[in-house]
Amino acid sequence: MTESRKTTDSTVVELRGAAFGYAGRSRVARLDLDIEAGSAVALIGPNGSGKSTLLQGILGLAELTEGTMKVLGTTPAAARKQIGSLPQADSRNAELPVSLRQVVAMGMYRALGPLRPLGRSGHRTVDAALDRVGLSAFSNRLFGELSGGQQQRGILARALVSDPRLLLLDEPFNGLDRENRDTLLSLVRELRAEGRTVIVSTHDLEIAQQACTHALLLASGHTADEPGHPASFGRVREALTLEAVEHAFHDATVEIDGHTLTAPSHDHTDTRNEPADRSAGTASRRRRKAD
Amino acid sequence: MDLGLLEALQLPFMARALATLAVLSVAAGIVGLGISFREMEFVSDGMVHAVFPGLVVGAALGGTAGLLPGAVVAALAAAVLFTLLDRRGGAGSDAAIAVGLTGLFSLGVVLVSKQRGYVAQLQDLLFGHLLTVTEAQLWQIIVVAILAVIVMLLTGRAQLFRAFDPEGFRAAGFSVLRTDLALSAATAMLVVAGVQALGVLMVVAMLTVPMAVARLLTRRLAWLVPVAIAVPLLCGVLGLWWSFVWSVEHDLAVSPGALVVLLLVAAYLLAVVLRVVLRRRGSAVPA
């Protein structure tokens, strides 16, 4: 979070003193960072720290209440064609009788316009996206009949059909079983390796360690009116220090990878030393014992 | 008089009634998909009630020829109002729509009761006059229904995406407000098309029941609209025929519009039973 950074052509998201919110009220503020092409950034923080608001801000759907922002060198609205989005699972109406294939095709609606048929190349693109997320065999299943993990992968396929340079994934790992989680993690790694930029919000520190190059830890405000703000940003190993996690979650006791880490103030224990292949490592707030 | 079904339907007033129902069935099948997917049944009921004062004012100013313009103005105003209320969301929006629909309906009744011979007029507006649809009215219905269908075809993909995943829809760069207004306008136009034939109280059945039946009978998107068109067509033919037979053979004047609506409701109940039976059979089959 240096003050004076030189923006390069490879900068995908550039935030300078940015704050985002709704109805003129900032929900997340003091954002001053560059996200480079090919990086995968884990957006970590407790509820209310502004993770989703930041993602919405990058999409241009939350207000930029302070500072400046560039996405893919331009405004979010102009960049939107090159952005793929996986919103939170609860935003979908899985009761609707739409097949997985129809859902994935929705990712092409913008480019197709109201009437142009999907055509052979469109069908091939949908097939390729489904194949990529390992759901070819489920193509004609109703979306609502798929498991939570398969649904998430289906929505990722929908984001991929437009061949996006930037992918924004909002809590994609919530409620996933191990198998679906691992599949999604390896997909994130593959996408990054292709030079795409991925920003993924999560409560899960293990995901940052396994699939991301960078982490942005967001802390919630001390009061309801105070917006969330960054606690640390940088390469995963540098950003995910226990001190930063403590700052973000306002708690000295955090569970990571099934290990409970209790640190006195100013302890610089680094989470990178923790094993990462245990059960889902969720950063959870614990109540401090009253003295 | 002993006419068969085909002969009866060839009588000019019966043919016009059937053509009216056919046009409404096709348009309602298409617009109804949007209403059903967006769970806008209550809002469309509100819109139907809001059209009522427009009809009354239109009739007062221009007689029968004033009905359509009055209804169009009221329906489009209601479409914008209800879309904005729905957009505001929260617990208050349904209450506001309920207040709006009863208020506007009462306004219509007050306005119509100032006219002479208002009981007959009120009956026509409330229950429609399917058998006395004139050729000019049929053409009006066709034009308005075609407009509603065009709006739906031009926004069909957006409507589906918006209903399935509003967040993803916005993220893809679509406008929620524009899409919602388009659906409300299409619904309003269908209300206008149907209200003269079926009346204020029954047109909402045409907007909502066929698609509800279709959703019970099939879970394939491609089949929903054809089923939602076929069901009211069948109910329309049967309703018109029975109403005609009872009137001619038994001297019973039964409202054909109401009969069609009753048949639609019967189709819905049948579909519910069928769905339950099929589900039980499905669950009895070992996985």
**Cβ contact A93–B171 (<8 Å):** no
Query: Chain A closest CA to B155's CA: distance in Å?
Result: 6
Distance CA A130, CA A156 (A): 9
CB contact under 8 A, A61 and B160: no
The ranges of chain B with pLDDT < 70 are 1-2, 89-92, 116-118, 121, 283-287
Note whether B156 contacts A83, CB cutoff 8 Å. Answer: no
Look at B219 and A110 and tell me if their CB atoms are within 8 Å.
Answer: no
CB contact under 8 Å between B172 and A155, yes or no, is no
What's the rounded Cα separation, in Å, for the pair A54 and A39? 17
Kindly list the residues from chain B whose CB atom is less than 8 angstroms away from the CB atom of residue A100. Answer: none
pLDDT of residue B118: 67
Q: Which chain B residues touch A107 with a CB distance below 8 Å?
A: 172
Find the chain A residues whose C-beta atoms sit closer than 8 A to any C-beta of B: 59, 61, 77, 80-81, 83, 85-88, 91-93, 96-99, 102-103, 106-107, 109-110, 112, 114-115, 142-143, 155, 158, 168
Residue B103: phi and psi, rounded to 5, are -60, -50
Nearest to A56 by CA among A102, A19, A6: A19
Beta carbons of B172 and A110 less than 8 Å apart: yes
CB A79 within 8 A of CB A37: no
- Strands A214-219, A40-44: pairing is parallel
Minimal-distance CA residue of chain A relative to B170: A61
3-state secondary structure of B91: helix
Instruction: Write out the two tokens for A93.
Output: 């109406």
pLDDT confidence of residue B91: 59
How far apart (Å, rounded) are the C-alpha atoms in residues A69 and B261?
A: 56
Rounded to 5 degrees, what angle do the CA atoms A55, A57, A59 make? 75
Q: What is the ipTM of this complex?
A: 0.83
Inter-chain contact B155–A114, Cβ cutoff 8 Å?
yes
Cβ pair A106:B171 closer than 8 A: no
DSSP at A18: E
B228 CA to chain A: closest CA distance, Å? 14
B219: closest chain A residue by CA: A97
Per-residue model confidence (pLDDT) at position B276: 92
Q: Which residue has tokens 């009744």?
A: B109
**C-alpha–C-alpha distance, residues A261 and A257, integer Å:** 10
Q: Is A179 exposed, middle or buried (0-12, 13-18, 19+ CB in 10 A)?
A: exposed
Distances from the Cα of B195 to the Cα of A204, A273, B148, B208, B210, angstroms: 56, 72, 14, 14, 17
Instruction: Select the residue from B33, B35, B167 to test the A interface by mutation, using most A Cβ atoms within 10 A.
Output: B167
Distance CA(A270)–CA(A139), nearest Å, equals 44
Q: Do A98 and B156 touch (CB under 8 A)?
A: no
Q: Give the chain B residue whose CA is nearest to the CA of A56.
A: B171
- Number of helices (H) and strands (E), helices first, in chain A? 10, 11
Q: Which residues contact A230 (CB under 8 A, 6 or more apart)?
A: A1, A30, A31, A32, A33, A216, A217, A218, A219
Task: Give the closest residue to B58 by CA, choosing from B121, B106, B139.
Answer: B121
Query: What does each of the 291 residues of chain A score in pLDDT, given as a tens digit?
Result: 444 455 556 899 999 999 999 988 999 999 999 999 999 999 998 888 899 999 999 999 999 999 999 999 999 999 999 999 999 888 899 999 999 999 999 999 999 999 999 999 999 999 999 999 999 999 999 999 999 889 999 999 999 999 999 999 999 888 788 888 888 899 999 999 999 999 999 887 888 888 899 999 998 877 777 888 888 898 988 888 877 877 777 654 555 555 555 444 443 333 433 333 333 334 443 333 322
Smallest CA-to-CA distance from B196 within B20, B74, B30, B25 is with: B20
Contacts of B7 (CB under 8 A, 6+ apart): none
Cβ contacts of B137 within 8 Å, gap of 6 or more:
B64, B68, B196, B197
pLDDT of residue A256: 54
